Amino acid sequence: MENATHPPIAHPESPKNDKRIITGWAFFDWANSAYALVITVAIFPGYFLELTNDVVNVFGLRMTDSTLYAWSIALAYLVIALIPPILSGIADYGGKKKVFLRFFTTLGALACISLLFFTGMPTLWVGVVGFILATIGFAGGIVFYNSFLPLIATEDRYDDVSAKGFSYGFIGSVILLIINLVVIMKYNWFGFPDGLRAVPVAFVMVGLWWIGFAQIPLRRLPADTPPRSRENLLTKGYEELVKVWHTIRGDRNTQAFLFAFFCYNAGVQAVLFLASTFAEKELHFSSTGLIFLVLILQIVAIGGAWASAKLSGIKGNKFSIMVMLLIWAGICVVGYFVQTGLDFYLLAVAVGMVMGGIQALSRATYAKFLPENTPDTASYFSFYDVMDKISTVAGTFVFGFVEQLTGGMRNSVATLAVFFLISLLVLSFVSVRRMRTASAPVL
């Protein structure tokens, strides 16, 4: 029913399933995935540890440099966990999708380029603040990027269009990663005295790649429209989350799945974000070695995602996730004992096999818990995304805390196994079915 006080403002519908617009949308993934892969996973962790002292003093608190790195991720994702509801409200009702897409893209790209000025302990604050702001820019942009999907494609095309974005992101980020690998390995070709001095070039290249290719979607995507609501957009998203919680609170089965997801996602994200720091600090990987490690992860992840989808088709989502949780727990246990670079490469193959599959299946499984025919799928997935971000905060914080407490990253890796084992136990009692609704039976 229309609001009698504030009727919706009419505006022309954007064209859907337009090939040029969809390709432009996918290029945003091409643009910003370079930051996620090249900076946060492959290059910056090792560079950060190389330039910082083993023990640093932050606001009077002494901690290891790897703990500081882990807690920087936790802080960034804590901010990211708090702002998506606000951003979702603005995106859905405020008519400012493109404005904020441009803002977060610019913030992230410039913050990434600013890492060029992080040259050692005297400029440590530049490295920490620049990394946090770039990560916020990356995640904030994704909120608005995703919000364009219903505007440019019909529902029957969602899967295909989303897959196109994913494939563009993978291809673009791998291309740029290989280019940076060449620059770092063949540093003398480019006039650098050693590979370490060549690394900052990656920060500039990623920032320019990010903001440069983002101009394609910023030009092709539908223009902003007048706001559909005059309500307080800062609280709209939070109100939607509260409504979802009231629904979930009455279904213990769904609560159990979300608790299991929270625990194992904390472990998954901690491994993905901090594997590079472990490899550099405990196994003394070079920047080149870390890049090769990430390339292995990406390539194997393609086959892993396909294999997990096949297993799920045969045995179901729950069985598939439980198998992957056993593998994840085994990875953490073996990681505690790993001693050589070759061992870690083999472990990376195992991580690649399960890292994409468990995230894809988790989201697909959660969709099966939504009330049948609910019109509020965006709100339910906003709730899921907040759970994802907060669990990332928990996993990276615990990883850093255990290292700070015990003095060893191996203890942190072993601790992550507990997250997976708890999830495995809880998930064994979960039935994959929809929530009870007034109009729909339990499936």
Note whether 36 and 173 are same-domain residues. yes
Percentage of the chain exceeding pLDDT 70: 86
pLDDT of 254 reads: 87
Note whether 78 and 156 are same-domain residues. yes
| Structural domain includes residue 10 | no
pLDDT of 8 reads: 38
Enumerate the H helices of 368-429 as residue ranges: 377-406, 409-427
Q: Which of 96-110, 285-299, 374-388: highest mean pLDDT?
A: 96-110
pLDDT bin (cut points 50, 70, 90) of residue 342 is: confident
- The whole domain housing 322 covers 231-436
| Structural domain includes residue 294 | yes
Give the residue from 197, 219, 241 where a domain finishes: 219
Across 6-27, average pLDDT: 71
Where are any strands of DSSP class E within 31-105? 55-58, 61-64
pLDDT of 367 reads: 74
Q: What would the pLDDT profile of 348-364 be if each residue is shown by its tens digit?
A: 889 988 887 787 778 77
Note whether 165 and 278 are same-domain residues. no
Give the residue from 198, 219, 240 where a domain finishes: 219
Percentage of the chain exceeding pLDDT 90: 42
Note whether 190 and 53 are same-domain residues. yes
Give the residue from 219, 242, 275 where a domain finishes: 219
Note whether 307 and 390 are same-domain residues. yes
pTM, to two decimals: 0.79
Across 138-153, average pLDDT: 81
Across 23-40, average pLDDT: 92
Which residues have CB under 8 Å from 335's CB, separation 6+? 278, 347, 410, 413, 414
pLDDT of 206 reads: 97
For helices 317-337 and 252-282, the axis angle rounded to 10 degrees is 30
Question: Residue 38: which CATH number?
Answer: 1.20.1250.20
Across 11-25, average pLDDT: 79
Q: How many domains does the chain have?
A: 2
Across 205-222, average pLDDT: 96
pLDDT of 35 reads: 95
Note whether 122 and 184 are same-domain residues. yes
Note whether 161 and 251 are same-domain residues. no
Note whether 198 and 290 are same-domain residues. no
Whether the per-residue pLDDT at 140 is higher than 90: the answer is: no
**Alpha carbon distance 99, 175 (integer Å):** 29
Note whether 183 and 315 are same-domain residues. no
Q: Helix (H, G, I), strand (E, B), or coil: what is residue 57?
A: strand
pLDDT bin (cut points 50, 70, 90) of residue 165 is: confident
Note whether 202 and 293 are same-domain residues. no
> What are the DSSP calls for 335-363, one per residue?
HHH--SHHHHHHHHHHHHHHHHHHHHHHH
Q: Helix (H, G, I), strand (E, B), or coil: what is residue 228?
A: coil
Across 242-267, average pLDDT: 88
Note whether 377 and 250 are same-domain residues. yes
